[in-house]
């Protein structure tokens, strides 16, 4: 049993040591890659995002807003690589999450097959809860601002 406790303790220590780096790199890959796919016109989220913008009354600029969303996603990814930019990146990220999760309530026909049964796009949105949890863990490992 002593060996099990030793392994457990080392694993927990390693996880807490490397968590911030793993979280940053993971979030960077997800945000930058998905944003880049949008920028080059290869994202499967295009139809949902443009349709949502049109539904919200932004039809005339839906494509431009989609490209802006893509640029914001790439920016969030890049900012997350720099520990001093964590607060800014996560502030933008949480705003982004509110926006991209909005179709669950405001554009239900695009994301639900029936109540509580999301289609693939709905699942794509719901998985964002895991990204929020990952980001909250990053917040928990961030040093508070120094008092002046």
Residue 146 lies in a domain: no
Spell 108-147 as b/e; 16+ CB within 10 A means b.
Answer: eebbbeeeeebeebbebbeebeebeebbeebeeeeeeeee
Is the pLDDT at 131 greater than 90? The verdict is yes
In the predicted model, what is the mean pLDDT of residues 29-36?
97
Residue 109 lies in a domain: yes
Residue 145 lies in a domain: no
Residue 148 lies in a domain: no
Residues 80, 28: contact at Cβ < 8 Å?
Answer: yes
In the predicted model, what is the mean pLDDT of residues 56-73?
94
Structural domain tally of the chain? 1
d(CA 140, CA 135): 9
Residues 83, 27: contact at Cβ < 8 Å?
Answer: no
Q: Burial, 88: exposed, middle or buried (Cβ in 10 Å; 0-12, 13-18, 19+)?
A: middle
Residue 40 lies in a domain: yes
DSSP 58: -
pLDDT tens digit sequence for 74-109: 999 999 999 999 999 999 999 999 999 999 999 999
Is the pLDDT at 142 greater than 90? The verdict is no
Range of the domain at 102: 2-140
Residue 7 lies in a domain: yes
Q: Tell me, what's the pLDDT at 146?
A: 82
Residue 82 lies in a domain: yes
Is the pLDDT at 121 greater than 90? The verdict is yes
Is the pLDDT at 7 greater than 90? The verdict is yes
Residue 147 lies in a domain: no
Extended strands (E) in 2-132: 112-114, 117-118
d(CA 46, CA 22): 29
| pTM of model > 0.85 | yes
In the predicted model, what is the mean pLDDT of residues 13-26?
94
């Amino acid at each position: 049993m002593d060996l099990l406790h030793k392994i457990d303790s080392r694993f927990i220590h390693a996880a807490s040591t490397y968590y911030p780096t793993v979280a940053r790199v993971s979030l960077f890959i997800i945000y930058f890659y998905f944003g880049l796919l949008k920028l080059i016109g290869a994202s499967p989220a295009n139809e949902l995002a443009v349709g949502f913008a049109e539904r919200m009354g932004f039809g005339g600029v839906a494509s431009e807003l989609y490209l802006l969303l893509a640029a914001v996603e790439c920016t969030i990814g890049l900012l997350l690589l720099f520990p001093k930019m964590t607060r800014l990146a996560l502030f933008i990220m949480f705003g982004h999450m509110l926006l991209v999760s909005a179709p669950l309530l405001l554009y239900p026909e695009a994301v639900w097959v029936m109540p509580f049964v999301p289609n693939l796009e709905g699942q794509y949105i719901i998985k964002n809860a895991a990204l929020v949890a990952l980001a909250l863990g990053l917040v928990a490992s961030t040093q508070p601002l120094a008092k002046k």
